[in-house]
Amino acid sequence: MVIFALHNNFLYMFNLVLFGPPGSGKGTQSENIVKTYKLQHISTGDLLRDEVTRHTPLGTEAKKYMDQGLLVPDEVVIGMISGKIDDMPDARGFIFDGFPRTRPQAEALDKLLEFKGTKINLVLALEVPEPELIKRLIGRGETSGRSDDTEEVITKRIKEYHQKTQPVASYYDEQGKLERVVGNHTIPETFKTLSKHVTKYLLPVA
Ligand code: B4P
């Protein structure tokens, strides 16, 4: 007789989306959240940049879009995410940083997580005024060497955000999962506000 062991850690996961315009601090705050709550970090920006650095076919394709300040096509990004989730079945949960960025990506993520027996629990949206976003990204560009942190490309990225990414906030708001957070305080102050929301679901790990 074959006995199937149903070990499905996905049922107990806490999954968070960190949402916001380019430069709102998603990457910065993800680092703090990961350290404090021991969630697994999935940043589509980091994954894509890694593919670019390794000159993979996916990276070569993605670079064409990233260098112009455009979003990488949905099917490329969605395919990348699915494999990442499967790599970490014992995670306490995931923090999705910079994903989903379009409504089709959000719908695909919901389907993917449902198939695995889990879901998005909370979406924290960082809100930062546009002049501050531009200032931060130009500042980062001076040291990071990122080809998408020039003034011309930043303007395009913000335009893409308004056209394609902002509707994702309504998608999660309709599901009652969205919390808006002021993101132009200092990094520690912003983290404190984000933590208040996360702690309602998950205790910090000492
Ligand atoms: P991402 O890598 O996701 O990054 P980002 O939007 O540039 O920035 P983030 O919000 O993480 O800001 P950060 O913390 O670094 O995207 C890059 C590109 O990849 C996209 O344009 C797109 O082409 C592609 N891509 C990624 N995901 C995709 C997807 N799902 N679909 C399609 N395409 C996708 O902060 C920025 C700066 O501000 C830093 O210098 C930081 O130190 C500073 N800062 C942060 N918080 C601050 C604060 N409170 N006060 C002062 N400065 C602060």
User: Has this prediction a pTM greater than 0.75?
Assistant: yes
Calpha distance 97→113 (Å, rounded): 16
pLDDT at 8: 65
Name the strand (E) or helix (H) holding 182.
Answer: strand 178-182
Closest CA to 98 of 153, 48, 173: 48
pLDDT at 68: 97
Count CB atoms within 10 A of the CB of residue 177: 16
Please list the pLDDT of the chain residue by residue as tens digits (206 residues). Answer: 444 444 467 778 999 999 999 999 999 999 999 999 999 999 999 999 999 999 999 999 999 999 999 999 999 999 899 889 988 888 999 999 999 999 999 999 999 999 989 999 999 999 999 999 999 999 999 998 888 999 999 999 999 999 999 999 999 999 999 999 999 999 999 999 999 999 999 999 86
Residues forming the active site: 26, 101, 140, 146, 157
Domain layout of the chain by residue ranges: 14-39+92-198
Top CATH class of 14-39+92-198 equals: alpha beta
Which positions ≥6 away from 78 have C-beta within 8 Å? 105, 108, 109, 112
Task: Please identify, by atom number, the ligand 1 atom nearest to the C-alpha of residue 98.
Answer: 3
Mutate to test the pocket of ligand 1, among 42, 81, 136, 166 (most ligand atoms within 8 A of CB): 136
Which positions ≥6 away from 166 have C-beta within 8 Å? none
Task: Beginning with the edge strand found earlier in the chain, give each strand of the sheet holding 122-127 in spatial order.
Answer: 40-43, 94-97, 16-19, 122-127, 178-182
pLDDT digits (tens, 9 = 90+) for 97-115: 999 999 999 999 999 999 9
Write down the residue that tokens 């705050």 correspond to.
Answer: 29
Give, using CA atoms, the residue closest to atom 16 of ligand 1. 45
Between the CA of 5 and the centroid of ligand 1 the distance, in Å, is: 41
Between the CA of 83 and the centroid of ligand 1 the distance, in Å, is: 22
**Helices (DSSP H) in 88-150: which residue ranges?**
103-116, 130-144
